[in-house]
Structure 1
Amino acid sequence: MYINKYLIPLIFLLLIYSGQVFGQIVLDENQIPIVPEDFHSLNTPYTATLSFFYNLREDNYDPKTAAEALKLSPDNQAEAEKLAIKLKQIFDGNGVYVRISEVPNYPDYIDSLYSKQAKFFFDTKKLPLVYLEKRNGEWKFSAFTVSQIEEMHKETYPFGTDRLLNFLPKLGNQVYLGLHFWQLAGLFILILLLFLSHKIITVLLDKGFLYALAKLGYGYVGEKYLLPVARVTSIYLIVVMSSLFIRLLQLPIEVVAFALKVLNAAKPLIITIVFYKIVDIVAMYFGKLAEKTESTLDDQLVPLLRKTLKAFVVIVGTLFVLKEGLEVDIVPFLTGLSIGGLAFALAAQDTIKNFFGSIMIFIDKPFQVGDWITSGDVDGTVEEVGFRSTRVRTFRNSVMYIPNGKIADSTIDNHGLRHFRRFYTTLTITYDTPPQLIEVFVEGLRKIVDNHPNTRKNAYNIYFNNLSAYSQDIMFYIFFEVPNWTEELRCRHEILISIVSLANGLGVRFAFPTQTLHMESFPEKNTLVPSYNHDMALYQGKLQEFMAKELFKKDSKD
C-alpha cells in the first residue's frame, strides 16, 4: 500500500527530469555528430548507421533519405519510409542507444564474434534480429531485418498502443520546458491512468476482495496473507503500464534506456516479493496439515521449509533482477558457481552429509520430537531436529548435539515408538513354600495384572519356571500400555506394591541368597522351619480375602 502511494510521484518526477534532459539534448549543439561529406554512400557500417539515424532527427527529418539504408526496391518508396520510421521507433522503444563513434568505419568489416560474415549487430540482447549486412558493396539493413520490422514494432508497442504514436503528435508541437505539448499531454495521460489504476485496484482489493473472502469464511487469511500478495501484484500492473506508455512519449534515448532499465528491474523484483509472500501462505497451509498429524516432527519441518523456500526465492529473484534490470550476463556467473560449488562441496562434505541426513530424517521419520531414543552413546529425549544437527536432552539434563549425518548412518532404538512397555522380573520364594501355596500365589499375580487398568491383558507370562540354588523362581513378564517413562514407573510401583501385599496376605516368603544350617530337632525345641497347612481351600480363601481388599481399595480410589 505504501509502495503504491509513492510509486506514482516517483514516476512523475522521473518523467519531469527526462523532460529537462530532453531539452538539454535538443538545445546542445555538441550532441550533433560531425557528418562526413560521403555518409550517403553507405559504403561502411558507420556511414549507413549515420545516414539512417541522422536523417530521422527532428532537426533534420528526411525519411526518404533514411529509407535508403533499407533493402527495398525504388518502386516501393512509401512503404520504405514507413518501415524506416517504425525501425527508428523500435530502437527508441527498446531503449537501444547507438553510439555512432563505436560503429566500424571501414568497408570490409567482418563480424568475428557472432556470424563470421560481413554483418554488424547493434544490440544482440535487445534487438538480435536487427543488423546491417554488406551486399553489392553497400551496407544496408538486412532483408531479414526489414521483413521483421512490423512484428518487432507490435512487440515493442503491444495492445494497439502504436496507434498513439500517430495520435499524440497531433495535439501540438509547441515546446514547453524542453518537451513538446503532445509529450506533456502524454505525461498527463500516463499519470492520470496510473492514479486511476491505483484507486481502482485499491477499491477492488480492500472492498471487493476482502469482502468476498470474508463471505467464504477466510477473512483472517485474506487480510493477513492474501491481501499483501494482491497489493504487490497491483504494483506490478502499474509498472507494466508505465513500461508500455513511456515508450510512446518519444523521449531521448538515454532517458528511455534508463527508465526501461529501472522498470525491467522492478518487474522481477516485484515478482520476487510476491513469491516471497506466497511462501508464508504455503507454510501456513502445511502448518495446518502438520497440526492434524500425531507426529511432532512435522512441526519442526514447516519452519525449516519456509526458510529454505524464502532463501531460494531471494536467490532466484536476485539473479533475474541482475539479468533483466542491470543486464548482467548470469551464465558465466552460474558456470563459475557450478565450478566453485564443486570445490565448495569437496571442502564441505560433512556439512552436505549432515544436510542430506536431515532430509532422510524428515522423510523416513525414525523419531519425532519428544521421543526417547538410544543410538550409541546417545540416550535421551529428542528436543529439536535441525538441518545440520539434532538436539537431544539426556537424562542427566544435559544437551547433546548430534550431526544428522551420523544419525542417518547409525542404528536408532526409538523407545518412543513402543506401543507397550515391557516389565520383566523374577519373584524368588523360599524352598519351603508348598506347591498349593505357589499355585494360589501365581493365580493371584495373574489377577493383579488383569485388574490393573494399564496392563496388556492378552499377552503376559506368569509361571513358576525355575528352581535355582536358593529359591523357587516365578517369572513375572508383563507389558504396560502407557505413553511415557513416568507413567511406566507409576505402574511398576502399583504392581510391585500389590505383589508384596499379596505375598504378605498369603504368607509367602521371598528368598534371598543365604545358607541355612539344619540341626536335628529336640522334643522340647521347635525348629526354625515354618510349618505350612496343605489345605488348598484355606489358601483360596486367603486369596479371595486379598482380592476383596484390593477391589475395595480400587473402588475407594475411584
Structure 2
Amino acid sequence: MPYIRKPFRGFLYFCSVLLLLFLAAGAPATAQEEAADTTEAAQADVEPSWPMDSLGRRTPRSAVEGFISAVANENYDKAAEYLRLAPSLQENLDGAELARALQRLLDQNGKIYPYALISNDTNGVQDDGLGPNLDRVGEATVNGETFSLILEKTEGPDGGPVWKFSSQTVQRIPFQDEEEAFVPLVSQLSPSVLEDNKWGGVPVGHWLAILLLVVVAYLLAWGIVSLALYLIRLSWYKVREEPTAGIVKAFALPLRIYFTVWIFVVASQQVGISIIVRQRFSEITLIVGVAAVLLLVWRLLDAITQFVQRRLLHRNNMAGVSALLFLRRAAKVALVVLGVITLLDSIGFDVTTGLAALGIGGIALALGAQKTVENFVGSVTLIADQPVRVGDFCKAGDVVGTVEQIGMRSTRIRTLERTIVTIPNGELSSLKIENYAHRDRFWFHPTFGLRFETTPDQIRYLLVELRSILYAHPKVDPSPARIRFVKIGADSLNLEVFAYVNAIDFDEFLEVQEDLYLRMMDVVEASGTGFAFPSQTLYIARDQGLSKEKSEEAEEQVQKWRAANDVQIPKFTPERIQSLRNTISYPSNGSSLQKKG
C-alpha cells in the first residue's frame, strides 16, 4: 500500500502544479493574442516610425504565435501570409495548401521552440550565427534529415519589419500528396466521435491524449527514478549515511519531474499530437523544467543545511545555527524571486522594468541597512574564524568577561561585575580580542624584593632553594622554570621568578600560586633575610635585626656545597633536577585534600 500512495501523492502534487500553470498559460489562444497585441502596442510606442502590422509579424515570437493561431482557426489563407514564397513557388503552389502542409509536417515530425525561447525583438537574435535577418524557431525532419525552421525578416509595405518563414524553409516542406496517406497514431486510436469534434482547432482526442500522456509519463518517470534509487542504495553503502542520504533523497522528486517532462515531450511528438496542442503545453513544460531545477536546488539546500545544523547543535554552536538559518532563508527567498521572474518571463511579461526597479530599491535598502549588513558580516566572521565561543573568558577592547551569547547582530559579554555588555558584531570583529579560555598554562612570574642587608650567600641560598621548589612541585612545568637575581633596585635586591603552572582553569592556578607563595615565603624566612620595605614608606619600629644564627647556618650550607662542588648555580644539573622531581607533597600535609594512604 505505501508503494501506491507515495507515487499517487507525488502525482497529485505534480498535476496540481501543472493545472495551475496550464490555467496561467491559457487553453485558448486569446490570452496569447492579447499579450501579443500588448507587446506590439508597446513596441509601437517605442518605434512610431511605422504602424502596427495587422497580422502581428513584427517580431519572430509574434509571427510564430500568429501562424499557430491561424492554423488553429483553420484559416489557412491567413496562415499563408506567414510564409515567404519564392516567385517560383507562388506560381506552382497554393499558399493555403502550403500552410496546411507545414502544419502536417509540424504535427508529424517537427517542433516549435517554446515561445519564451523565441525572440520578441523586432530585430530578432543578433548573435545566433544565422545573420541579422534570420532567426531559428524550431526543427523538422523530412526523409530522415533534420533541418532548422528559419524565420526571415522582410520589409513590409509600410517599411516596417515583417517576419515570415523563410523561402528556404518553405521549399523543404513536403507536398500534400507525399503525406496524405499518413495518419498519426493518436488519430488511429481515437474514436471517430473524438476526431470529428474539435476544440481550439484540434480534435478532442488530441486533448485527451495529451492528458493521458501526462499520467503515463509521470508513472514511467516515477518507476525509472525509484529503480535507479533502489540500485544506488543497493550498490553504494555510503548512500545510507548523512549527508549522502539527504542529497540522494533531494534528487528524487526533481528528477521525477524532469523525466516526466522529457518523456512527455518526446512521446507527444512520436504519437502525432497536433503542434497546436504541443505548443500550448510547450511553455508549461519549460516552466516545469525550470521549476524542477529550482526545486532541486531548494531540496539540496535543505539537505545540506540540516546536516550542518545537526553538527552545529552537537557542538552547541547556537550562533552558527542562527547564521545558518538566516543564510538558508535568504537563499530560499532568492530562489523564489528567481522562480517568479522566470515564470513571468516565460508567459510573456517584460521583467526588465521590474528588475531595474528592484535594483534601485535594492541599492536604497542596502544604504539604509548598512549597519545591519555590517553586523551580519561581522557575525559571519566571528562564526567562521571563532576567536571566541560561548562560555569563553576573554578581553575585547576594554571589556573583560565571559561570552554568553553570539547573535546575528551583537554579542553579549557578562563582565566581572556581573553586568551584561552588548557589542555589535561589526565592531567586535574589528577589535583586538584576548581569549583566556584557550591557554594551556598559566604564567607565574612574581618579583621578590629583598632587604639590602641580604648577603650574597643568602641570595645564593635563595636561588637554589626557591628553584628547588619549582622543580619539585608537581604542578609546575620544569621547562622553563627559573629564578634569577635580576636587579639591584633603589630599595631592594630583586629576584625574578619565571615559571608556568599546569592548571585546567584560573581557580586551580590561584590554588597553586598560593601554595608556591607560602612555600617561598618559608624559604625566605629560613634564609635569615626578609622582604624589603619601599623607601617611600616610613616604618617606625624597633628593628629586630637579622638572625645571626640563621645567617651562619645559611653560609655554612653554602660552604658545604662549595667543598663538595655541588653549588647548583648558574643552573642545576640534570641529575639534581631528576632527584628533586615530585619530592614536594601537594597538597601540603594537613590539608583536607590530602589522602591518607
Shorter chain as denominator, the TM-score bin is 0.5 to 0.7
Letter in 1 for 2:186: L
Distance 1:149 1:508, change over 3 A: farther
Is structure 2 residue 554 aligned with structure 1 residue 531? no
Q: How does 1:14-93 map to 2 (within 5 A)?
A: 45-46=54-55, 56-57=71-72, 60=74, 66-67=79-80, 69-72=82-85, 73-74=89-90, 75=92, 81-86=100-105
Distance 1:394 1:334, change over 3 A: farther
- 1:242-284 CA distances to partner (integer Å, 9 max, x unpaired)? 466568644976x974x55555444333323322232345457
Pick one of 307, 319, 323 that aligns with 2:342: 323
Give distance in 2, aligned partners of 1:13 and 1:404: 46
Aligned length: 487
- Which residue in the other structure is 1:174 paired with? 192
**Unaligned 5+ runs, structure 1:** 27-42, 97-111, 117-123, 152-163, 520-526
Give distance in 1, aligned partners of 2:470 and 2:165: 94
Q: How does 1:95-494 map to 2 (within 5 A)?
A: 114=122, 133-135=154-156, 142=163, 145=166, 166-172=184-190, 174-176=192-194, 180-181=204-205, 183-185=207-209, 187-205=211-229, 207-214=230-237, 216=238, 218-242=240-264, 249-250=273-274, 257=280, 263-283=285-305, 301=320, 304-305=323-324, 307-309=326-328, 311-324=330-343, 327=347, 328-361=349-382, 366-416=387-437, 418=439, 420-430=441-451, 433-466=454-487, 472-482=493-503, 484-494=505-515
TM (norm. structure 1) is 0.66
**Unaligned 5+ runs, structure 2:** 30-51, 58-62, 125-134, 139-148, 173-181, 562-567, 569-575, 588-593
Letter in 1 for 2:192: Q
Q: Please report how far the alpha carbon of residue 94 of structure 1 lies from its aligned counterpart in structure 2 after TM superposition.
A: 4.2
Greater alpha carbon shift after TM alignment, 437-446 vs 301-310? 301-310
For the 8 Å contact 1:437–1:536, the answer to whether it is kept is yes
For the 8 Å contact 1:369–1:383, the answer to whether it is kept is yes
Distance 1:12 1:337, change over 3 A: closer
Give distance in 2, aligned partners of 1:10 and 1:529: 98
For the 8 Å contact 1:70–1:140, the answer to whether it is kept is no
Distance 1:166 1:528, change over 3 A: same
Give distance in 1, aligned partners of 2:317 and 2:385: 12
For the 8 Å contact 1:280–1:306, the answer to whether it is kept is no
CA RMSD of aligned residues (A): 5.4
For the 8 Å contact 1:264–1:324, the answer to whether it is kept is no
Q: Please report how far the alpha carbon of residue 349 of structure 1 lies from its aligned counterpart in structure 2 after TM superposition.
A: 2.6
SS of 2:259's equivalent in the other structure is helix
Distance 1:373 1:384, change over 3 A: same
For the 8 Å contact 1:44–1:138, the answer to whether it is kept is no
Q: Please report how far the alpha carbon of residue 421 of structure 1 lies from its aligned counterpart in structure 2 after TM superposition.
A: 3.3
TM (norm. structure 2) is 0.63
Letter in 2 for 1:530: S
Q: Please report how far the alpha carbon of residue 339 of structure 1 lies from its aligned counterpart in structure 2 after TM superposition.
A: 1.7
Is structure 2 residue 520 aligned with structure 1 residue 499? yes
For the 8 Å contact 2:396–2:434, the answer to whether it is kept is yes
For the 8 Å contact 2:491–2:532, the answer to whether it is kept is yes
Distance 1:479 1:169, change over 3 A: same
Give distance in 2, aligned partners of 1:329 and 1:223: 41
- Which residue in the other structure is 1:553 paired with? 585
Distance 1:455 1:145, change over 3 A: farther
For the 8 Å contact 1:379–1:394, the answer to whether it is kept is yes
Q: Please report how far the alpha carbon of residue 315 of structure 1 lies from its aligned counterpart in structure 2 after TM superposition.
A: 0.9
Give distance in 1, aligned partners of 2:21 and 2:373: 51
